[in-house]
A = this chain, B = another copy of it.
Amino acid sequence: MKTNRLLDLFHSGQGAVAGWMSLDSAYAAELVGASGFDAVVIDCQHGMAGHAQMLAMLQALSHTAAVPLVRVSQNNLGEINRALDAGAYGVICPLVNSVAEAVAFGRACRYPLDGMQGDRSFGPARGLLVGGADYSQHANAQMLALAMIETRAGLDAVEAIAAVAQIDGLFIGPSDLGIALGLGPAAAHTHPVLAAAIARIQQACQAAGKVAGIWCGSAEMARDMLTQGLQLVVPGHDAIWLKAEMARRLAVVRARPVAG
């Protein structure tokens, strides 16, 4: 089976940088996938892609070097299985607030094979195309299950959540977490309260031998988080990138002397 390059990056201690798709366009996905990111996350929670677009984006990402991940809209067996059967090499699940929810999420990502406890139903579909004929034998080891910590309840239970066997790591949603901590959605990651929460989540991951990742609004925050030891960072998303570059270009053009 084609292996998950993110696992190699995590094991080697290098960390990984992921792109993030809010657009519902397979062409946009392959542009992002071909631009140097280690992974690309298709966001089916706050992004625009529904099932058909997710599938088309996974298909287009398959020829790029980026590992395809999906953020599902919720902790739901059916939806998680569809993302994996469509060829995702990992799932980011929002709003994991308890050990029970983490177990449900993790089980949804695993076949009940080889001693792993799981609820993933068998029918690998595109997994065979992107992973190979032996997909089902290795999928349990290659698929990433990343649980989002972004509520007060999730943070309170973070050490136990990190220890759930079927979970590979935690992924921090700083906007929702900032709201939950009373800071609002735009708190800086350097704010002591938010920074402490991030550190606690990171430590829970380290203690459990799991990966810690975080969504970042800016490249600078992503750089800082990597430096701090988080292993998966996301320096904004496609809509943010478009807006930033359009603003930059419009400023250049509009700054001209008025044509006479």
Contacts and interface: CB of A to CB of B under 8 A. Distances in A.
Interface in A5-29: 13-15, 17, 19, 22-28
Interface stretch (A41-49, A155-163, A164-172, A190-198): A41-49
A36 B247 contact: yes
Interface string A110-126: 01110000010111111
A100 interface: no
Most buried by B among A26, A30, A222: A26
Interface string A248-260: 1111111111111
B82 A78 contact: no
A99 interface: no
12 contacts: A15-B259, A31-B239, A45-B81, A46-B121, A47-B125, A63-B130, A73-B82, A95-B121, A123-B175, A125-B239, A229-B260, A242-B245
Interface of A: 13-15, 17, 19, 22-28, 30-32, 34-37, 43, 45-48, 50-53, 55-56, 59-60, 62-63, 72-74, 76-79, 81-82, 85-86, 94-95, 111-113, 119, 121-126, 129-130, 136, 150, 173, 175-176, 179-180, 184-185, 218-220, 222-224, 226-229, 231, 233, 235-236, 238-239, 241-260
